[in-house]
Structure 1
Amino acid sequence: MNWAAGSGNVAFLPRPPVPSVVGRIAHGQPVAPGTPRRLVGKAVYLSAPPAPARTLIDIIKVTAARFPAVAAIDDGQRILTYGELLTEVSALGTRLSGRGVGWGDRVGVRVPSGSAELYVAILSVLAIGAAYVPVDVDDPEDRAELVWAEAGVCSVIGDQHRLTARPVPPRGVGPRHPRPSDDAWIIFTSGSTGTPKGVAVSHRSAAAFVDAEARLFLPARPLGPDDRVLAGLSVAFDASCEEMWLAWRHGACLVPAPRSLVKGGAEFGDWITEQGVSVVSTVPTLAGLWTNEQLSGVRLLILGGEACPPELANRLAATCPEVWNTYGPTETTVVACA
């Protein structure tokens, strides 16, 4: 007998050729109407034990303790080791605390893309127990105002780490190491189908996502200090979290790309080669512009955000050692399936 699972129920089907039923189910196609089926019980779904709850700050502190002198960020202007990165994060966190910002607050981040300062800002917010609320510098002012107001942001970190107070006052609790249940970020949807909606993700969920990808990707030769991870996505897009933490979970170096290059297509591919980037998370449209030669040094390629044409998937899979096609709405902590 053949079987199919749906809504937790198991149904036995008559034995037709495998492609006609099981193949349809596997590809999300409906079984022909009228096909007889008999409910025989409930499906049992097995899962691994949950990972220990921790925070994103726990993750980067563990990495920094292992690799204090290893490059954590290289933005083309300067290189910060993990030790130096945490020093700068602490300094900016102290400035935020001096403004009364701390645990449980929400802090806007609007720092130019492609800079180490952007990532220092994000980590400084997390380090004091607050949640960061990113807005891209290229976004219109009315979107920024909507996001700040909807999220209840009390302060905004801008260019050169300029701090701007908002009408919402800080909670006044002071800095505190975040708990797993605390919000790590609030990222707003594009609003293409209506008003942008803010989605809060806890440290517990974010850290579990980071650890899950660590188990999933490159199991035979995991990421490490020799890897360089592209940061080419806007931090207002939740997939940017994947880029950051693929690097910082493993002691790899995050390599932010200048925004002008991200929009440049083929020139961007040359830059990836020149920078020795070995890990890329991007959309199929952009990956399709790059030649096999430009991708020759990439050992992990993650695609998402849109459908990947089969012919492109075949070409990329023949070029890069490991290619993943992922999907997940913002509400599911970046990726729901791969």
Structure 2
Amino acid sequence: MLRRIRPPEEAGRFSLLHEFFEAQVDTRPEATAIIVEGRRITYAEIEQRANRLARYLHNHGIGRGSIVAILLSRSLDAYVSILGTLKAGAAYLPLDPEYPADRISYVLGDSHAETLITTASLASHHREFHGRIIAVDVDANAISSETSTRLPTDVVRVRSDDLCYVIYTSGSTGRPKGVLVGHRSVCNLVGAEAELFRVTSEDRVCQIASLSFDLSVEEIWLAFQAGACLVPVTRELAHAGLDLSKFLVENQVTVISCVPTLLSMLEEDIPTLHLVILGGEVYPENLLTRWARPGRRMVNTYGPTETTVTATYSDLTP
């Protein structure tokens, strides 16, 4: 049975995406927001770093109406860059470093991105980009010298109908196609999924999708809206079934959203998992039988990028 996710007026708590994160900073600043490379990073630490980046961007003329491309793998710098961009009032455009260079160049040109946040090494492959390049390694000292407080709202002036992010899909013509998503739409998604999936501050949410894929939006904000902990998985680990199982067990992951193919790669059960969200492809019945457990909720979701990640869902039972 399919159920309709509630509309904005019933589901949304905030009108801007980053406000979900800021609400957790204000109430639980010392809670762990991310476990990355064995480090536990608090909401307050990420907030301060994101605020510094936002001020750095603002001081270089980046704000409302700007598009900032982020060419980084799943890392602390990537999540700080997303939040810092939003806090500056700009929209972010995630790019996967594993993409072919010509695809990245096309997207940078087609999107009219004004700024590229990346590393010095990755930037060296895109010298044809004519906008501002911020290398998180080279420019780290300049960024860290900025004030760590939030930019005032009357300075940022971003509204709910402003652009939040741009995701490029494969496109029907063979050329990547940019999909523009506003704050109102994604806030509706986050608010609705908060009500639907009931993730809490005690959860650990796996972040396995490429940041250039809109599933990453669901993963990241399932965690951040609840004050939960985000647990990113490296690209290499995402393709290693046995090692990935071990990683999920060791990090006591409780929530995962993935394609059925990835779940089928896991060779052992993850006892701590209580919410499994499947989407992106048809799931085989035997997979459901294998993974269903008392106290574990399994959900099938569907939605094209144009409808903001998820449009419909159905609870699954063997």
TM-score by length of 1: 0.78
**Counterpart check, 1:76 vs 2:43:** no
RMSD: 2.7
Q: Does the CA contact (< 8 Å) of 2:21 and 2:224 recur in 1?
A: yes
Q: Which runs of 5+ in 1 are unaligned?
A: 1-25, 28-44
- Listed one character per residue, the Cα deviations across residues 307-327 of structure 1 (whole Å, up to 9, x for unaligned) are 101121222223761111111
Residue 310 of structure 2 corresponds to: 335
Residue 148 of structure 1 corresponds to: 108
Residue 214 of structure 1 corresponds to: 194
- Greater relative CO, 1 or 2 (CA 8 Å, sep 6+): 2
Q: Does the CA contact (< 8 Å) of 2:245 and 2:268 recur in 1?
A: no
Instruction: Tell me which amino acid in the other structure corresponds to 1:323.
Output: M
Q: Does the CA contact (< 8 Å) of 1:296 and 1:320 recur in 2?
A: no
Distance 1:168 1:46 in 2: 39
Shift of 1:92: 1.2
Distance 2:201 2:267 in 1: 26
Distance 1:175 1:130 in 2: 12
Distance 1:238 1:183 in 2: 15
Distance 1:127 1:162 in 2: 24
Q: Does the CA contact (< 8 Å) of 2:5 and 2:192 recur in 1?
A: no
Aligned length: 287
**Counterpart check, 1:267 vs 2:267:** no
Instruction: Tell me which amino acid in the other structure corresponds to 1:202.
Output: G
The change in CA–CA distance for 1:62 and 1:313 in structure 2 (over 3 A counts) is same
Shift of 1:162: 9.2
TM-score by length of 2: 0.83
Residue 227 of structure 2 corresponds to: 251
**Counterpart check, 1:123 vs 2:83:** yes
The change in CA–CA distance for 1:193 and 1:318 in structure 2 (over 3 A counts) is farther
Residue 39 of structure 1 corresponds to: none
Q: Where does structure 1 differ by over 4 angstroms across 4 or more consecutive aligned residues?
A: 45-49, 160-166
Distance 2:120 2:275 in 1: 33
Shift of 1:193: 5.5
Shift of 1:83: 0.9
Distance 1:304 1:242 in 2: 12
**Counterpart check, 1:111 vs 2:72:** yes
Instruction: Tell me which amino acid in the other structure corresponds to 1:81.
Output: T
- Listed one character per residue, the Cα deviations across residues 15-59 of structure 1 (whole Å, up to 9, x for unaligned) are xxxxxxxxxxx89xxxxxxxxxxxxxxxxx997654456111211
Q: Does the CA contact (< 8 Å) of 1:72 and 1:248 recur in 2?
A: yes
- Listed one character per residue, the Cα deviations across residues 138-175 of structure 1 (whole Å, up to 9, x for unaligned) are 01111111111111100100027999995368xxxx96
Of Structure 1 and Structure 2, which has the larger fraction of its residues in helix? 2
Q: 1:304 aligns with which of 276, 279, 283?
A: 279
Q: Does the CA contact (< 8 Å) of 2:166 and 2:180 recur in 1?
A: yes
Shift of 1:77: 4.1
SS in 1 for 2:180: strand
Q: How does 1:226-245 map to 2 (within 5 A)?
A: 226-245=202-221
Residue 256 of structure 2 corresponds to: 280
Q: Which runs of 5+ in 2 are unaligned?
A: 133-153, 314-318
- Listed one character per residue, the Cα deviations across residues 52-76 of structure 1 (whole Å, up to 9, x for unaligned) are 5611121111111111000111102
The change in CA–CA distance for 1:111 and 1:223 in structure 2 (over 3 A counts) is same
Residue 186 of structure 1 corresponds to: 166
SS in 2 for 1:59: helix
Distance 2:183 2:268 in 1: 37
Q: Does the CA contact (< 8 Å) of 2:96 and 2:211 recur in 1?
A: yes
SS in 1 for 2:175: coil
Residue 33 of structure 1 corresponds to: none
Shift of 1:211: 0.6
Q: Does the CA contact (< 8 Å) of 1:277 and 1:298 recur in 2?
A: yes
Shift of 1:178: 2.6
Instruction: Tell me which amino acid in the other structure corresponds to 1:234.
Output: S
Identity %: 37
